[in-house]
Amino acid sequence: MRTTLAIILALVSPLVFPAALTLVVVLIASVLVPPVGLLAGVLTDALYWTPSVSVPYATIAGLCASVLGYAVHQFIKTRIITG
């Protein structure tokens, strides 16, 4: 249930929320489901990126969110961080 909600929220937020809030939502969702950060980043660039923007910043930010979320996710699972 929590996983499903995190995925849905992370994928809907680029369509509804301001970019800064979307980043926060995606970071939190990435802790629960790490790959959702990359997916949300690719979705954001698929919707909004144009050739006038040289670098797909959303995809890069999504990848960083996934990596960070994966690290926190593993630390929580192995009880290094108590979640």
Partner 1 sequence: MPLFRNANPYRRRTALIPAGGVFLIGTLIVLAVLMFLLQIFAPGLLARAAAPVWQLGNGIASGFAAGTSVFGNAPELTRERDTLAAQNLALAEDNRTLTAKNADLEALIGAAPPPEHRILAGVLARPPVSPYDTLVVDAGSGKGVVVGALAYGPGGVPLGTVASASDVSAHIALFSTGGRVTEGWVGDTRIPITLTGRGGGAFDATLPRNSGIAVNAVVYVPGPGALPVGTVVRIDSSPSSPRDTIYIAPYVNLYALTWVMVASHP
> By the 8 A CB rule, do 42 and 57 touch?
no
Tokens of 76: 């929580």
Compute CA distances 25 → 8, 11, 55, whole Å.
11, 10, 22
CB 83, min distance to partner 1, A: 15
Residues in contact with partner 1 by CB under 8 A are 3, 7, 12, 14-20, 22, 33-36, 38-39, 42-53, 57-58, 73-74, 77-78
Nearer to partner 1, 58 or 72 (CB): 58
CB 75, min distance to partner 1, A: 10
Cα separation, 10 vs 40, in Å, equals 6
CB 66, min distance to partner 1, A: 9
